[in-house]
């Protein structure tokens, strides 16, 4: 594997349907950049937890953040191994048999141990990444975090060292004999679509809707 790809490990290697596995960094980062929510999995005292949270990426590092009172963040600070997942659902796949129904998806799994971010400048860069990950162009218009807000935010980084993607695309894969059945088969594409923005009730009347809000789509974020 070259530096443009992640090296599969016993944990990240795709074993079930390995032909769907991807280790290319560009592919994995594109999926991470298009997603909005990641699921952080960890075990404490033999009790597993899965917590959804927002995230941001800067080059080869994934960042999560929250209140210092967060049980998840306080636990992860202790060096607990984590597994992070981001999944994008692209469509429903309807086969001629119930057995072969499926979904088209792009999914990334990351393994590792988080690091507490102490440097205020790195924390500020991470907060910028969180904001711009959700809606590009927003950071330049809003009030920047105050030193007190930065100090009161816990930011954790996860180096992107051990990761893989699994992707399914295309039509259903039916048994050959089933292709003659009089049953509709195919794909129902799905995508995240933004509805009409709703202005805050206390918004000043002269403030216009920004173009990045009016034209927001999941695709124009990446």
Residues 151-206: tens digit of each pLDDT: 899 999 999 999 999 999 999 999 999 999 999 999 999 998 899 999 999 999 99
Average pLDDT, the chain: 94
pLDDT at 123 (0 to 100): 95
pLDDT at 68 (0 to 100): 87
As beta bridge partners, residue 93 has 102, 187
- What is the dihedral angle through the alpha carbons of 177, 178, 180, 183, rounded to the nearest 10 degrees? 170
Q: Is the pLDDT of residue 2 over 70?
A: no
Residue whose C-alpha is closest to residue 54's, from 67, 38, 70: 38
Q: Which domains does the chain carry?
A: 18-214 (2.30.110.10)
Cβ pair 55, 156 in contact under 8 A:
no
Residue whose C-alpha is closest to residue 88's, from 222, 195, 192, 13: 192
pTM of the model: 0.92
Mean pLDDT of 43-56: 94
Q: Is the pLDDT of residue 219 over 80?
A: no
Mean pLDDT of 95-103: 98
Cβ pair 169, 27 in contact under 8 A:
no
As beta bridge partners, residue 109 has 85, 164
Q: Cβ–Cβ contacts within 10 Å for residue 144, how many?
A: 12
Q: Label residue 1 by pLDDT band (50, 70, 90).
A: very low
pLDDT at 222 (0 to 100): 72
Residue whose C-alpha is closest to residue 112's, from 147, 150, 163, 72: 163
Share of the chain above pLDDT 70, in %: 97
Q: Is the pLDDT of residue 3 over 60?
A: yes
Q: Label residue 71 by pLDDT band (50, 70, 90).
A: confident
């Amino acid at each position: 594997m070259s530096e443009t790809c992640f090296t599969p490990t016993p944990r990240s290697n795709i074993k079930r349907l390995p032909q769907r596995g991807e280790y290319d960094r560009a592919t994995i980062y594109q999926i991470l950049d298009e997603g909005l929510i990641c699921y952080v999995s960890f075990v404490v005292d033999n009790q597993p937890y899965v917590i959804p949270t927002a995230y941001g990426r800067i080059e080869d590092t994934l960042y999560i953040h929250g209140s210092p009172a967060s049980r998840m963040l306080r636990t992860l600070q202790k060096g607990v191994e984590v597994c992070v997942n981001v999944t994008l659902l692209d469509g429903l796949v309807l086969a001629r048999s119930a057995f072969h129904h499926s979904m088209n998806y792009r999914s990334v799994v990351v393994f590792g141990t988080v690091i507490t971010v102490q440097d205020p400048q790195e924390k500020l860069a991470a907060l910028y990444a969180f904001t711009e990950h959700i809606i590009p162009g927003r950071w330049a218009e809003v009030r920047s975090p105050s030193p007190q807000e930065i100090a009161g935010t816990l930011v954790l980084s996860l180096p992107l060292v051990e990761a893989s993607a699994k992707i399914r695309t295309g039509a259903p894969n039916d048994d050959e004999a089933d292709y003659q059945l009089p049953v509709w088969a195919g794909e129902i594409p799905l995508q995240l679509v933004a509805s009409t923005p709703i202005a805050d009730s206390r918004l000043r009347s002269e403030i216009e809707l920004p173009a990045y809000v009016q034209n927001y789509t999941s695709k124009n974020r990446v």
